[in-house]
Amino acid sequence: MAGFFYGPRTTQFSCLVNKRASFIMTKDPAVLFYTSDFLSGTSFYTYEERGQYITLLCQQHQKGGIPEKHILSVCGSKENIVFKQFSKGKDGFFYNERMRSESEKRYNFVKSRKDNLMGSHKGELMENENEDENKDKRFRKPTLKQVKEYCKDIKSKTDPEVFFDNYESSGWIKANGQKVKNWKATIRTWDKRGSPDQAKTAAGSSVMDQSKTNEYLESLSK
């Protein structure tokens, strides 16, 4: 085969109606063509033979195998140097092996890129699903009914209405300035440590007791 080179093209395998296997390329409007390689490979061809060669290559690229009747109508005879660049396949059609080989390589390349692209879209889909899942895990403030039911279920000592009103008024922000992430866990914490209101009351009582003690000591000094 002459040493020319043509650019790879997107192709696809197809089985013809008469069940002959044939490598069919999509009807692309253009093809990469390296002119220097083609000219060096056909340096001893006449201009007419070059025209025949490029015509048959383009037809194979677009339609697949070439019928013998057609290739002879272009070349004129089997002795034509161009005719010898095409070999008869098992399906009875003629192919330029270099064109078929390069087309197959291109097909595999395009397919791999397509698979990679589909894979990236799948990755984006998974990422979106993960984002949705994370959104689902974000804090959702409970209703008073939910708080009452949970307190009842765990036999909590916390007053559900006090708990609900406390955080509803603060926008579900804790005393330390952090947002409530798990209201059920917060209820359990109240059970263990007491509510902030209880702590404030205890602190207030301590101050009042100290004040009374100071007043008593002052009265004794008079």
Average pLDDT value for the chain? 75
Structure confidence by residue, pLDDT tens digits, 183-209? 999 999 998 887 665 555 444 444 445
Give the confidence band of 7 by pLDDT, cuts at 50, 70, 90: very low
Looking at the predicted structure, is the pLDDT value of residue 105 above 90?
no
Is the Cβ–Cβ distance between 33 and 53 less than 8 Å? no
Q: Which 3 state secondary structure label does DSSP give 96? A: coil
Q: What is the pLDDT of residue 212?
A: 56
Strand partners, 179: 173
Question: Residues 135, 145, 156, CA angle at the centre, nearest 5°?
Answer: 95
Q: What is the pTM of this model?
A: 0.41
* C-alpha neighbours within 13 Å on the C-beta side of residue 1: 16
The residue extents of the domains of the chain are 11-106, 138-200
Of 137, 136, 197, the C-alpha closest to 164 is: 197
The one-letter amino acid code at 174 reads K
Looking at the predicted structure, is the pLDDT value of residue 1 above 50?
no
Taking residues 77-95, report their average pLDDT. 93
Q: Which residue has the higher pLDDT, 30 or 85?
A: 85
Structure confidence by residue, pLDDT tens digits, 121-140? 666 666 565 555 555 567 88
Looking at the predicted structure, is the pLDDT value of residue 92 above 70?
yes
Say how far apart CA 113 and CA 135 lie, in whole Å: 33
